Amino acid sequence: MTRHKHFAPSPVLRPYIKCFHVLEIDDALDASSFERFTPDGCFEVNFNLAGAPTRREAFGTERMLGAGYTVARSSTCYFMRPAGALRLMGVRFHPWGLHRFTSVPMEVISDSAVPSVELFGSSVLALHERLAASASETHAIAELDRYLTARLNAFDEDPLITDAAQRIEQANGLLAMKELLSPYGITQRRFQQRFKQSIGTTPKGFSRLMRFQHALRGLTAGAYVVPIDLAFEGAYYDQAHFANEFRSFAGISPTRYMAEVHPLNDAAVLNRLDGASSL
């Protein structure tokens, strides 16, 4: 049996964190094959409390992930498979959120899975022990919330880039660079440098990703009857352009994607917080 729960963070963390989540899989029979994960621009800090998943990159390389790792989902798909029973607790950050909690530039970890100790230092190892020893999910989520709240003032935010990323997300990637830059009084080159440091990709790359995400949400929600409707609604040039962009991020065509089963990825894509508990 597979169980996936979402928990809303405390109010002070909500500008930076989408949700906390707990994933439990009783045995490998629940997920004996790899599940595709599409990029969404978010960062996830995950803690394996029982078992460990195997990650396969789009180009085929496989490795088992450690006890605590951070995933950046920026431009390419990847695949995950549990290696037996799994109990995972994690934090899903907004695309601009993780930069607030570590001094490591986001471009360094873009499209990768790295040990969380590289971002947070040894304190995250002690946090992992507290999570594993927690008497309940509620206590463990509270530990995560306290840890991140304590780090919140340790690193400076780049409010200009946060604002720009939020505007791109709200516009589903349909903002021209001139319009995006107009409120800021900054050169395009400097803007791109700062954006990549905080978000992990370029403004153009992030805009493409937000267009893809908007299209994917509509596709998985059944909002489109035929692919051409989706292509034009998403402001792609034509159906071929949409199909090529979709394949760039998902690794396969829209038709093949919809024929696959990927419930964990769909939960993230659709931003499902149904029944989420709040701290």
pLDDT of residue 68: 94
Max avg pLDDT among 64-73, 185-194, 212-221 = 185-194
Coil, helix or strand at residue 149? helix
**Pair 233, 221: CB distance under 8 Å:** no
pTM confidence score = 0.90
pLDDT of residue 274: 42
What digits encode the pLDDT tens for the residues 222-263? 655 555 566 656 668 788 888 899 999 999 998 899 899 888
Residue in 79, 87, 71 with CA at minimum distance from that of residue 37: 79
For the cut 60, the answer to whether the pLDDT of residue 31 exceeds it is: no
Coil, helix or strand at residue 53? strand
Cα–Cα distance for residue pair 128/259, rounded to 1 Å: 37
Q: In this predicted model, which residue has the larger pLDDT, 85 or 228? A: 85
The full DSSP string for 226-256 is SHHHHHHHTT-SSHHHHHHHHHHHHSS-HHH
**Pair 92, 44: CB distance under 8 Å:** yes
What digits encode the pLDDT tens for the residues 155-206? 888 999 999 999 999 999 999 999 999 999 999 999 999 999 999 999 999 9
Give first-to-last CA distance, the chain, whole Å: 26
Residue in 86, 41, 43 with CA at minimum distance from that of residue 67: 86
Cα–Cα distance for residue pair 140/275, rounded to 1 Å: 18
Cα–Cα distance for residue pair 100/158, rounded to 1 Å: 8
